[in-house]
A and B are shown apart, each in its own frame.
Chain A
Amino acid sequence: MGAAFVVLYRLFLRHQLTTGRLVLIGSLNAVALLIGFAVGTSDPFDPTQAAADIVWFYGLGLMAPIISLVLGSSSLGDLQSDETLVYLWHRRTPRWILAAAAWLAPTTIAIPATTFGLVGCAILAGGFSGSLFFGTLFAVAIAAIVYSAVFTLLGLLFKRALIIGLIYLFIWEQFVARAGGGAARVSIGTYPSSILAKLADVELFLADRSTVTAFVVPLVIAGLSILLTARRLDHMDVA
């Protein structure tokens, strides 16, 4: 079991690091650093709050979900579209191992790929502190965990998962959920935002979940998504 998980995880990891995706991750990080530099040179009134605003608005609103979407939706989705999934699917390895490895690989890339740019941004913005660092780290980790799990499932369910994911992110998470409290309750983004707000001790819009809720709910969503992915693998037809 352990060997199967490790070999699958490494396969997914190698499979995801394509040139296009690396360019996308690099570009998003470069923009984060650029924003941090711009904020740093503008001498903001409250640098910590300014840095937290960037982490929230850009990092948790754009960077973490986009990176998780691009990696997560391709994790099983690419194998399904190039018809190589059958080589893994047809073996006796339990489905949940396949689902867990397919989720963990994008998560492992998304966490450092997002944190690096945002921490650099916070340093450049002059608002870097221990609490902001841990707030960013945990918020990004939770965002990557939950988004990767949801988008891994999405990649297995839909051929156009990338498009559907973007529509979800920009129409629901960015447009509708940020318009008011009701919609925000059913938005994934509010939970990492609440972690950032609580751990970094800053004020963020609609980031009012308790610390426990902000950690537990995304983990439950991620767990359910992995289970649904395993179940889908069990019941699906594979070409």
Chain B
Amino acid sequence: MTEQPPPPGPARPEAPLPPTRPTQPVAPAHPVAPVQPVAPARPVQPVSATNNLPPPPAAWPPPDATVVAYDVSLSFGSLVAVSNVSVAVRPGVSALLGPNGAGKSTLLRMMSGQLSPSSGRVWVAGGDPRQDAEARNRIGLVPQQDGVFEQEKALSIVRLAAILSQLDNVEERARWALNLVELDPDIERPVGAFSKGMRQRVKIAQALVHDPMVLMMDEPLNGLDPRQRKQMISLFHDLGSQGKTVLVSSHVLEEVERLGSHVIVIARGRLAAQGDFRGIRGLMDNQPLRFRVSCDNARAVAASLIGAGSVVGCTVESATELQLTTADASRFRREIASVCKSHDVRLVEVAPLDEDLESVFRYLVGGG
């Protein structure tokens, strides 16, 4: 599994960790390996959104996974919201991605213990968050809904969270958490009078106050302005680099791209793919890759490449530029070098056109 690069940088000077921290017993996500080894381990597991999930690989779940959902399904009456999803989340920042109504929030709620799956099981840091209060306490939860305790002050809400998590230095922890999200703990206004962005930061602060091992956030960047988004994303990366598991649900691709490359894609209630999105794209054998090639004799290169066999489609855009479609990217990369050399053509650039997250997402959930 490929992790996103942890952002470098010192800890925030304005929000140092308080001297005493709640104990964080480190435990594997799953007390008993929940699946039988049936297939070789792979770095990524792309799955068709419309087909059943194939059996998990042998090394599944990874030993360092902190959140494991195994074969979970949930139906609301006749509506199947989540169907047979198995997913393991490791420390670092992961994005739960999917279109509206895909089942992201339902899956996140099952993983946080809010909803009981109709079938399957969930482990978070060694326990079932529905049964085990300690496992639940290792989660910091930012729910999707806008509502917070409207008549309370921000500090009161975070203090309440700290007390309910049975922390000792409540006041200090609450102020620390609010400082972390750049919110003044001494604001006298009740949260009901806050802007949406400020309320969102209160929600994040209450989730962080007990310094949880796992942070689960459902659309946490909603309502934040661009500067706040940047700052929050940086905070999530900081937490991820500290070894915490940060799981962020979102349907906004730009947000997810900035959060990191590790994604869990949910479509129509099923797990569509998990892993580094560039790796997922590479495994999409049924989706030809498109490249833009810049060289000083586009027509000659196009003719030779089509003859060579790796290219299935070609458009000559100009004398120096062409667009190619290939089903075998590595073979294409090898062939283009030899074709250019044999024709004595100067190759300027080979740029992939659909290896970005948007293309991956479109192929996975939009049918291509």
Please say whether the chains A and B touch (CB closer than 8 A): yes
Selected from B116, B136, B159, the residue in CB contact (under 8 A) with A91 is B136
A89 CA to B152 CA in the complex, in Å?
18
Selected from B112, B137, B148, the residue in CB contact (under 8 A) with A84 is B148
Q: Which one, B27-35, B58-66, B162-170, B176-184, is touching chain A?
A: B162-170
Whether A91 lies near B114 (C-beta < 8 A) is no
**Nearest chain A CB to B202's CB is how many angstroms away?**
10
Whether A93 lies near B164 (C-beta < 8 A) is yes
Known contacts A86-B143, A238-B114; A94 and B163 CB within 8 A of each other: no
Selected from A4, A7, A90, the residue in CB contact (under 8 A) with B136 is A90
CB closest chain-A residue, reference B113: A90
CB neighbours of A11 from chain B (8 A): 149, 152, 160
What is the number of contacts between chain A and chain B, taking CB atoms within 8 Å? Answer: 70
CB closest chain-A residue, reference B115: A237
Known contacts A4-B166, A7-B164; A87 and B151 CB within 8 A of each other: no
CB closest chain-A residue, reference B112: A90
CB closest chain-A residue, reference B137: A92
A91 CA to B115 CA in the complex, in Å?
15
Q: Does B122 contact A (CB under 8 A)?
A: no
Whether A87 lies near B163 (C-beta < 8 A) is no
Q: Does A82 contact B (CB under 8 A)?
A: yes
0/1 string, B120-141, CB within 8 A of A gives 1: 0000000000000110110101
Known contacts A92-B134, A237-B115, A239-B114; A87 and B149 CB within 8 A of each other: yes
Whether B116 lies near A87 (C-beta < 8 A) is no
Whether A239 lies near B145 (C-beta < 8 A) is yes
Q: Of residues 1 to 54 in A, which have CB atoms within 8 Å of B's CB atoms?
A: 3-4, 7-8, 11, 14-15
Using C-beta atoms within 8 Å of the partner chain, give the interface range for chain B: 20 to 34
Whether B149 lies near A91 (C-beta < 8 A) is no
**Nearest chain B CB to A193's CB is how many angstroms away?**
37
0/1 string, B199-232, CB within 8 A of A gives 1: 0000000100000000000000000000000000
CB neighbours of B170 from chain A (8 A): 3
Whether B114 lies near A15 (C-beta < 8 A) is no
**Nearest chain A CB to B105's CB is how many angstroms away?**
9
CB neighbours of B115 from chain A (8 A): 237-238
Whether A92 lies near B151 (C-beta < 8 A) is no
Known contacts A4-B166, A94-B133; A83 and B151 CB within 8 A of each other: no
A206 CA to B188 CA in the complex, in Å?
54
**Nearest chain B CB to A87's CB is how many angstroms away?**
7
**Nearest chain B CB to A107's CB is how many angstroms away?**
21
Q: Does A88 contact B (CB under 8 A)?
A: yes
A87 CA to B147 CA in the complex, in Å?
10
CB neighbours of A237 from chain B (8 A): 109, 114-116
Whether A7 lies near B160 (C-beta < 8 A) is yes
Selected from A84, A94, A239, the residue in CB contact (under 8 A) with B149 is A84
A231 CA to B343 CA in the complex, in Å?
78
Whether A86 lies near B141 (C-beta < 8 A) is yes
Kindly name the residue among B112, B149, B151 whose own CB sees the greatest number of chain A CB atoms within 10 A.
B149
CB neighbours of A89 from chain B (8 A): 114
Selected from B116, B139, B163, the residue in CB contact (under 8 A) with A90 is B139
What are 23 A-B contacts with C-beta separation under 8 Å?
A: A7-B160, A7-B163, A7-B164, A11-B149, A11-B152, A14-B152, A87-B157, A87-B206, A90-B113, A90-B114, A90-B136, A90-B139, A91-B136, A91-B161, A92-B133, A93-B166, A94-B133, A235-B116, A237-B115, A238-B114, A239-B114, A239-B143, A239-B145
Closest 4 CB pairs of A and B: A91-B164, A92-B137, A92-B133, A83-B145
Q: List B residues at the A interface (Cβ < 8 Å).
A: 109, 112-116, 133-134, 136-137, 139, 141, 143, 145, 147-149, 151-152, 157, 159-161, 163-166, 170, 206
Inter-chain pairs besides A14-B151, A90-B136, 5 sampled, C-beta below 8 Å: A11-B152, A11-B160, A91-B164, A237-B109, A239-B143
